[in-house]
Amino acid sequence: MTTNNLSQTGDFLSVTRANEWHLEPFSFSLDNGTQVDVLDTGVIQFTPKNCGSKDIVLSSAVHGNETAPIEICDELIKGIIKGELSLSHRVLFIFGNPASINIEKRFVEENLNRLFCGAHKKGEQNNEKIRAAKLEAYVSQFFNAFSDKNRKRIHYDLHTAIRDSKNEKFAVYPFLNGKPWKKEELSFLLSCGVNTIMMMKSSATTFSYFSSSMFDADAFTIELGKVRPFGENDMSRFEKAKMTLTQLITHDTVNYPEFNFADFELFEVYRTINRTQQDFSFPFSDSAANFTGFAKGELLATDGDTDYFAEVDGEAIIFPNAKVALGQRALLTVIPLQNKTDFV
């Protein structure tokens, strides 16, 4: 398809997939006065005539094979361009890594979600590093368009997890450099069907940490379920997320049910266990579900002569991989969040 019938079809995903790394910018406006700016392949900005106080970034396909969020954003973009959805706020949609969508892989050369916060500048350049630099620039111009400090900046980076998870949907709340976590944001996540949240205690090179640390945006990496190919997603499982995102962009304000800690499972990162010996094993299979918890004293891993035991009741495993190279992380563990006072 060509770019000049985008205003009829709304099919920005096809335009994006046909232009893997580059697309000349172009603009048009909708009958309802919304300005549409295609900034690059996979990057489309909507500015409604009377825009509200939120600046919202919705990204997907930072990992190309994570199709469900791509399908959700594709539908939202089509709805907006066809005039079926009427925006209340400025929205920037990003399909992060179009070439990796086409090859149905997580990435082409390098994991895009480890290349933000300037990490793309390090080492030999490749397409993903160049893309990360451009995405940083598009997000910067989007958030910097207004100097008004009262505007609410939001960036939800939508993913699906590779493996099964005891808590199928979960979100990563980036490290806030000492600022308190926000209950209202957790309520938004709950409304999307996400009640499991990993609170990070250190900086990262992820897309969500970039927006959070650089622009004070309320930003999350949101895992909406398990990876499946296009067309094989049971979209009913994503209905809550899609509905909540639709409300977010089309309503001036959204009211969520009253916040209650009992509705959530909040975790904090506890430790990483590296493989240092050839002889490394887990007492569970590598496909064990994320967030499987262990009682204090239960065996978590054996690295040569060293046994690692759960040190805290409920210490839970994330992304176990016994086959990593020596010196690499074989396991991340989390524990129930210990201090619940750091919330506003």
Question: What gap in Å lies between CA 153 and CA 182, rounded to an integer?
Answer: 13
Show contacts with Zn ion in window 59-88 (CB under 5 A): 63, 66
Burial (CB count <10 Å: 0-12, 13-18, 19+), residue 171: buried
Q: Does 159 bind Zn ion (CB under 5 A)?
A: yes
Binding span for Zn ion by CB under 5 A among 32-40, 58-66, 241-249, 255-263: 58-66
Q: Which C-beta is closer to Zn ion: that of 17 or that of 159?
A: 159
Q: Say how far apart CA 73 and CA 160 lie, in whole Å.
A: 13
CB 60 within 8 A of CB 73: yes
With CB under 5 A as the contact rule, which of the stretches 75-83, 84-92, 151-159, 248-256 interacts with Zn ion? Answer: 151-159
Q: Does 169 bind Zn ion (CB under 5 A)?
A: no
**Residue bearing tokens 């000492």:** 178
The residue from 110, 128, 223, 315 that is catalytic is 223
Check residue 242 for interaction with Zn ion (CB under 5 A).
no
Please enumerate in sequence order all residues whose Cβ is within 8 A of that of 219, keeping only pairs 6 or more positions apart, or say none. Answer: 154, 155, 156, 157, 174, 208, 209, 210, 211, 212
CA angle in degrees (0–180, nearest 5) for 221-226-232: 125
63 versus 169: smaller Cβ distance to Zn ion: 63
Q: Does residue 265 have an active-site annotation?
A: no
Task: Please name the residue that has the structure tokens 């309503």.
Answer: 251
Give me the residue whose beta carbon is nearest to Zn ion: 159
Interface mask (CB under 5 A) for Zn ion, residues 298-337, using x and -? Answer: ----------------------------------------
Q: Pick between residue 66 and residue 168 the one whose CB is nearest to Zn ion.
A: 66
Of 6 and 57, CB closest to Zn ion: 57
Closest CA to 224 of 249, 204, 242: 242
Q: Which residues are part of the catalytic machinery? A: 223
User: Which residues contact Zn ion by CB under 5 A?
Assistant: 63, 66, 159
